Structure 1
Amino acid sequence: MRLPHWAGTLAAKSAAFITVMCCALAALLGVLVHVSVTDQTVAQARDQALSRLAEATSDFEAGDTLLPEARIDPQGLPSALRALALAGERGTMVSDDYGRPTMWAAGPADRDRVLAVAVDYSQQARTISALDHSILWSSALAIGTTLLVGAFAVTRVTRRLQGTAQVARRISAGDLDARVEDPRTKDPTRPQDEVAAVAAALDGMAASLQGKLLSEQRFTADVAHELRTPLTGLHAAAELLPPGRPTELVRDRVAALRTLTEDLLEISRLDTGRERLETDAEALGALAERVVRASGTETEVKVVRDVWVETDRRRLERVLGNLVANAHRHGRAPVVLTVEGKEVTVRDHGGGFPEYLVTHGPQRFRTEGGTKGHGLGLTIAVGQAEVLGARLSFANAVDGGAVAILTLP
């Protein structure tokens, strides 16, 4: 399943989340520290300016000489502060006085004049600026360190998850011996996290599934072997019956049972995975024509491009024979077998394969639509194709009919 274009890996999304949260936290703390220190610094400068304004006001009212920083109607006084003083109020304001940060304190002098005191604010401004730089660099360092530590921790988790996913894919591909074997699941003294729990559950599921499949395979093989002996005797007895319709029916059913037993034995051998190839060079077109002749069916053979292949002739004939037989048994004429290079296609013009077969492949003893048979022919074909190292796929043609495609290595 493809992820949306905006979805990345767990490590990338975790790193992005950590970065965003660290940036938000650093910004919040930086703003709180900046506001707190700035308020404290401005309050101290304001108190100092107001104190000197009070002294200057006393000197002005007493007719004494004003302090050096006290002036009447200075030019650099902010207009808003001047208006406040003319209204009879005292106030303070920070502004630049000839390019230098200054804390102004102003109040009414007499009539239309304003008495103002200018206090150098440069040191406080430099302190706040240095604090802002320190907050910025320390936040960047903290974010980088947290991101590295978080990425390291998340990567360890994602690496274990990727290993678990890889084992799950191997199991789904048929490797039932695959296990995660997470070290945490084997050491009870170590803390068990969620990833270890998933790994343990997957290992348990694989072991249970393997046990059930092995039991099924043993049962199939045992049943087939046990049926072989009585069926041989039954076949011999059927041959001794007098000619007639009842005898033909008995012989037909006995032959069907023998075919079913042989198919079960072949499936059990394929399930063991111990089949060995006996390869030889074969002309694919000639082999296909030989299979059609042996089937005794009216199947058209088209050789678009003939090739020589190194393969096991008996197994390849078994695969093609089963595909042709299935096309005639469950489809409709015309049935066409096409050889084009190393790709062999068998197509009929019937109702097509069932949806489950196209999606998941053939399943033994499963048929749909009232069709006859046990679903073993295509199962054997798939198993023999795997032994050959070939790929057998199934589809339905757009204009109707089932299509089986065998691609040789």
Structure 2
Amino acid sequence: MKLSDLGKQLTQDSAIVSLMEDLGDALNVNPNLLFLGGGNPAKVDAFEQLMAEHLADISQNPDELHKLLGIYQSPRGSEKLIDALVEYFQTEMGWPVSADNIALSNGSQSAFFILINMLAGQAGDSKKHFLFPLVPEYLGYSDQALANDYFKACKPLIEKQGDDLFKYHIDFANLHISDETAALCVSRPTNPTGNVVSDDELEQLTRLAKNHNIPLIIDCAYGAPFPNIVYQDVTCQWDEHRLYVFSLSKLGLPACRTGIVVGHPELISQFVKVNTIMSLANGNLGPELMSRLLANKQLNQVCSQHILPFYQHKRNHMLSCIRQNLTKNTYRIHQPEGAFFLWLWFENLPISSTELYQLLKEKGVLVMDGEPFFFAVKDDWPHKHQCIRLSYCQSDEVIEQAIEILATTLEGLTK
């Protein structure tokens, strides 16, 4: 069978496919692996119990069950959820939005496939690109483009902090926006580093987006206001040049595949048309469960009382394990401001991060190689090969065992 050029592109080896294969192997096939890779959220018992109660209620109501299982959603998505989101964003966030500002998708990954290919690529005589003001950035964007050269990036400023921390900052002096820039895009908190772009940085990016009449796309998969896995105070202001993308996955519903896109009505209308062609209709389960959380005023409570404290404990435990086991002055940790990852930088690593990833995998520990997260950086910057990402969604025991193996592996490399 011969594939088209597009078919070849979509079936070639990619970082996101490898990530999901590792995730599936660890979670479904080989549970003995010490899994610190992937982006699967942890099992938060209080949240799953709440979902069980809502599912039980639905199952006892024939009309509600039929709506869940036997009815297509309209193109924009569940009117019930969209109306609830309008009220939520108006009352909780002070956003002047209506139903025309909101659309649903089958996961935020699908939403970004639409946004990337709707905005970037060939446009008349020019070729448009997404510009990432800060890298490393979510590798799931990297293979969604339907042609080459869809992505450009600005390398960050690196600030070393204290004995073992560092932080990336946007280098505005070298952030070059041109007529070929289709959109600015940041994740907040950033996957993979847990970096939270500051309110001031976000305001500067918004002004740049306005000046060039392009959208600033903000991926809030881990961020405020839900699931709000953010360990500091942040604000989310409304602006017609901002396009927010939310997800129910990190709330604890990754299998429901539900994304929420909030932005200018014109862009939302165009998004809905493409989504309908691609998907026909959105799934019902995620929107129904989210609607119930909003109707019962449970969303903010779940986020603040269960999800955030759970991940904060995990973060602190992994930080403690790293500092107890790894040799001082051999590593730095990106300031862990959000999400559920730690990003480690080994400035003097004698092998590449890809080789370290493979070595740890052979020893039964799965981490994420950092190199694929620099997909938009074209030059061979040494820093690209010196970092790994660790998820702290596993049990304390798994975290402890994995960090001990990481420590002994790193020690062996320096002998």
**TM-score bracket relative to the smaller structure:** under 0.3
Structure with larger RCO (C-alpha < 8 A, sep 6+): 2
TM-score (norm 1): 0.21
| Greater percentage in helix | 1
Task: Kindly name which structure, 1 or 2, has the bigger radius of gyration based on alpha carbons.
Answer: 1
TM-score (norm 2): 0.21
